[in-house]
Structure 1
Amino acid sequence: MSTRLNAAFTALLAAALFGATTPLAKALLGTLSPFLLAGLFYLGSGLGLATVILLRRLKGNAVGQTDTRHHPSFPLREVPWLAGAIAAGGVAGPALLMWGLQTTPAAAGSLLLNLEGVFTALIAWIVFRENVDTQVFLGMAAIVAGGAALSWQPGAAGLPAGTLLLIGACACWAIDNNLTRKVSTHDAMFIACVKGLVAGSVNVLLALRLGTAWPTATTVALAMLTGFAGYGVSLVLFVVALRNLGTARTGAYFSVAPLFGVTLSWLLWPELPPPLFWVAAALMTLGVWLHIRERHEHAHTHDPLDHTHRHRHDAHHQHEHDFAWDGEEPHTHAHHHAPITHAHPHFPDIHHRHSH
């Protein structure tokens, strides 16, 4: 149960950081163009995480951890997955979001981002054949219903252009999430850092190419700090959650991000929450509870597998070491999984991507 709660908390914290970014982006859009704001968010993410990685490596070198098992290289065969994720989620998604927010109220923009979790789950279930049971489906339905309750506006008809752009951004991020799942065994901080540096550079260059004026140093700093927390740290946590929960379940938890965004939006632009806010909060809480209490257990077989990720010597990691091990756990190194058949409660994490 502890592992399940830890994984859920990681995904919810990622959602809170990302959800808070939307109203902050709305506040900054008065002085920045959409492309430049997206670029600064991602550059802040990439540069901030690069600094953390550098400090981590310097600390490792200081204690003699200079070999590649502590900092394994990213395999070339998986570069296309990461490149696709960056193109969809790091370039197209943020640009569509920023354009959409120009004509969409901050609260409504936060609510529409609820669709990202829906699209993520649908792609995971239909394209990548990730397992879904009744309870998980009902949990997702409750979260979606909560988002619908929040965004419902009596008398509104049609979909404004800004809304369509935000829906497009959600679709891009859903593709990004599913592609990122394919590389989630690797260093989450490295993945988020590369995404931030590449996406940030592309968006900033596009903004400058379109004639956007460079803002003040204070505005740049605020945007980059927001991006570091809302895009960088959030993405690191999201990748870790993908590794432990699978794509659809992580996407479901991430779907509560609008609740955090709406709350912060009302703090920035004070107004009393309408009754539907509490209905939506209750539905989303119900959805999260259904996911947390999920128990999926059956006999299953693990095929032989070789990969690298941070792990403890649990039931799935009973292996020898070809280096002097000091007993530290968790630790990171390339390791082999021998075939094994057993039964226990599990999620579709990196060790349980089997068919049913």
Structure 2
Amino acid sequence: MKPAYGAISVALAAAALFGAATPLAKALLGAVGPFMLAGLFYLGSGAGLGLCIAWRWAAPGRSRARVGLRISRREWPWLFGAIAAGGVAGPALLMLGLASTPAATSSLLLNLEGVLTAVIAWVVFRENVDLQVFLGMVAIVAAGVLLSWHPGGAGVPVGALLIVGACLCWAVDNNLTRKVSANDAMLIACLKGLVAAPVNLGIALAAGAALPSPGTLAAAMATGFAGYGVSLVLFVVALRHLGTARTGAYFSVAPLFGVLLSLAIWPTLPDLTFCAAALLMALGIWLHVRERHVHEHTHELLEHSHRHRHDAHHQHEHDFPYSGDEPHTHPHVHLPISHSHAHFPDIHHRHRH
């Protein structure tokens, strides 16, 4: 199976941006409380992406960008659920956990998001997860146990548990976002930011927090725009083409970027437990990358709208004057067809096995 290298590259780019945001958040926590920081991250994400959408609308010759900037009524519950889990609960738990957990350990613990994403996709949404993906998840879970275990302690530290809770929230978010991933990725990410920001900021202000200095505020919003906004846009695009479990697997490399940056900010020599956990997580990611999937399958009648080219799955007529430009976005119908080829559980391959 020849991988969708473009979609994989997009998923890795999303991982790099999000992973780099974790140690930066750790650095900012000295001056900003956890809920305030989460709110500023999402404010930067929502406002920045909102400006990008406005530019797309206003820019001359970009009228095609307007197509698809709407979400159907039946998809709103999925999006609201994703925002509540990933835009409100997840960031708050992460910020609370970061306050008492070393940055490098926090970054590697975030690998559990990919595992939990795959488990929910497999068990709840019945997305196919092959043996290699399962073995990769086992390796990543083992690494998480190593990172969280403190010999002689009373148990798993509360900070680590909070970060695991954040991973669970984002795993739920990822699976719910899959339901709306055919829509405009920038619009989805913008809405998440604009809803999550006032909720987190409201909690912070109600608890007595004050807005930070202009410099710190700008740094937090810029970090949020890149690490939460642009990263989420790329993640949704990858989700559309790779499916939930596979995208989560590639996104699992995010903590590696976080580790590199955190060790640069706070130079220290990692201990043997840390190195063993890193190797286990690297093994898990390698197994995910090697996974291959091909079989005879049937496409049922499907109508939706998304950005596409006229490939094997998009051989349709147009009910409007068509200039021949690709890729483009418009509502289109997929007729039933049965065939066999290498594929991921993308928006066109959500069949049962």
Instruction: Give the TM-score normalised by the residue count of structure 2.
Output: 0.94
**Is 2:7 the partner of 1:4?**
no
SS in 2 for 1:179: helix
Match of 1:198 in 2: 195
Identity among equivalent pairs (%): 68
What do the CA deviations read for 1:218-266 (whole angstroms, capped 9, x no partner)?
0000000000111001111111111111111111122222221111111
Residue identity matched to 1:182: K
- Equivalent in the alignment of 2:102: 105
Matched pairs, number: 353
Q: 1:77 aligns with which of 32, 51, 74?
A: 74
Shift in Å, 1:285:
3.8
Distance change >3 Å, CA 104–CA 90, structure 1 → 2: same
Q: How far is the alpha carbon of 1:272 from its aligned partner?
A: 2.5
The answer as to whether partners of 1:29 and 1:37 remain within 8 angstroms in 2 is yes
Secondary structure of the 1:289 match is helix
Checking the alignment, whether the CA contact within 8 Å between 2:64 and 2:328 is kept in structure 1 is no
Mean Cα deviation higher: 157-166 or 313-322: 157-166
Aligned match for 2:85, one of 85, 88, 97: 88
Unaligned 5+ runs, structure 1: none
3-state SS of 2:339 partner: strand
Cα 1:111–1:281 shift into 2, 3 Å: closer
- Identify the residue that residue 65 of structure 1 maps to in structure 2: 63
1:263 pairs with one of 260, 263, 266? 260
**Aligned partner of residue 63 in structure 2, secondary structure:** coil
User: 1:71: how far off?
Assistant: 3.5
Please report how far the alpha carbon of residue 293 of structure 1 lies from its aligned counterpart in structure 2 after TM superposition. 3.0
Mark the CA change 1:19 to 1:196 in structure 2 (over 3 Å): closer, same or farther: same
Moved more, 99-108 or 219-228: 99-108
> In structure 2, what is the Cα distance between the partners aligned to 1:38 and 1:185?
27
Deviation at 1:100, TM superposition (A): 1.5
Q: 1:313 aligns with which of 310, 315, 325?
A: 310
What is the distance in 2 between the residues matched to 1:148 and 1:161? 14
Query: 2-side partners of 1:151 and 1:288: how far apart?
Result: 20
**Is contact 2:108–2:278 with CA below 8 Å preserved after alignment?**
no
Gaps of 5+ in 2: none
Is 2:58 the partner of 1:21? no
The alignment partner of 1:323 has SS state of: coil
- Displacement of 1:179 in angstroms is 0.6
Separation (CA, whole Å) in 2 of partners of 1:86 and 1:208:
21
Q: Mark the CA change 1:143 to 1:13 in structure 2 (over 3 Å): closer, same or farther.
A: farther
Residue of structure 2 in register with 1:172 after alignment: 169
Q: Tell me if structure 2 keeps the 8 A contact 1:8–1:292.
A: no
After superposition, give the CA deviation of every residue in 1:24-83 in whole Å (9 maximum; x if it has no partner).
Answer: 111111111111100000000011111111111222xx2262695x24421111111101
Q: Distance in 2 between matches of 1:197 and 1:91?
A: 11
For 1:275 and 1:138, locate their aligned partners in 2 and report how far apart those are by CA, in whole Å. 23
Offset of residue 330 of structure 1: 1.2
Output the CA distance in 1 between the equivalents of 2:178 and 2:72: 15
**Distance in structure 1 (CA, Å) of the matches to 2:141 and 2:16:** 17
1:298 aligns with 2:290: no
SS of corresponding position for 2:330: strand
Stretch moving more, 128-137 or 107-116: 107-116
| CA distance 1:44–1:67, change in 2 (3 Å) | closer
Summarize deviations over 1:107-129 as a string: whole Å, max 9, x none.
Answer: 22212212211211111110000
* One-letter amino acid matched to 2:71: F
Deviation at 1:282, TM superposition (A): 4.2
For 1:175, the aligned partner's letter is: V
Which residue matches 1:140?
Answer: 137
Quickly say closer, same or farther: Cα 1:348–1:275, change in 2 above 3 A: same
In structure 1, distance between residues paired with 2:284 and 2:158: 30
Tell me if the contact between 1:107 and 1:261 (Cα under 8 Å) persists in the aligned partners.
yes
Report the Cα distance in structure 2 between the residues aligned to 1:179 and 1:164, rounded to whole angstroms: 23
Task: Measure how far apart 1:154 and its partner are.
Answer: 5.1
Aligned partners of 1:207, 1:81: CA distance in 2, in Å? Answer: 27
